[in-house]
Structure 1
Amino acid sequence: MSVLPLAACAMTPEGVEPEDIAEYELAVATIGCQLVTEADYQPVELQAGLTREQTTAITSYLLSTDKAERLPDGGVTLTTGACA
């Protein structure tokens, strides 16, 4: 029996579709790949058509699947897609 890595088993957050994640990644790329302050989250939400809850859920999901990293001074940076 083979064992899959934990990240392969991670499910997308409730209320979030795969398309939402793709839109989120594109929007984050347009602001320099980092989410640190309110000024970063608002344009991502507007561009991707997401609520704050969806945005934070996607951020947590990407952190748990190693597609984002926490920054030393707070916030996160994406390490996938256009931000790789």
Structure 2
Amino acid sequence: MINYVTKAVAVLSILPLAACDVPPEGVEPADISEYELAVSTIGCQMVTEADYQPVELQAGLTREQSKAITSYMLATGKAERLPQGGVKLTTGACA
């Protein structure tokens, strides 16, 4: 006999992880790749406006898309918060 409670718990326990790996609404996987490449060209850290602007221009992103991707990268462990503020990518060329 199958233990349905155990199966339900197992399925529900993986849902939050799967949900975190879905790109933000309005952002395509290619946008994330362009964002990662652009961030790598400025030293992998974004702290001030002077860091965000070139990333957005190089990747062809709006400010909202950039903020959404940054949040996504933090949520998926592909970026970390810096003690002085801002974020640092920890994946791809920035690993």
Query: What TM-score do the two structures reach when normalised by structure 2?
Result: 0.82
Structure-2 separation of matches of 1:26 and 1:6:
27
Residue 26 of structure 2 corresponds to 15
Higher relative contact order (CA 8 A, sep 6+): 1
Q: Which runs of 5+ in 1 are unaligned?
A: none
Q: How does 1:20-35 map to 2 (within 5 A)?
A: 20-35=31-46
- After TM superposition, which residue ranges in structure 1, 4 or more long, deviate above 6 angstroms? none
RMSD in angstroms over aligned alpha carbons? 1.3
- Indicate the structure (1 or 2) with the bigger Cα radius of gyration: 2
Query: What TM-score do the two structures reach when normalised by structure 1?
Result: 0.92
Offset from partner CA, 1:21-79 (integer Å, 9 cap, x none): 00000000000000000000000000000000000000000000000000001000000
The structure richer in helix per residue is 2
The Cα of 1:5 is off from its aligned counterpart by 7.3
Aligned residue-pair number: 84
Is the contact made by 1:7 and 1:64 (CA closer than 8 Å) also made in structure 2?
no
Is the contact made by 1:68 and 1:80 (CA closer than 8 Å) also made in structure 2?
yes
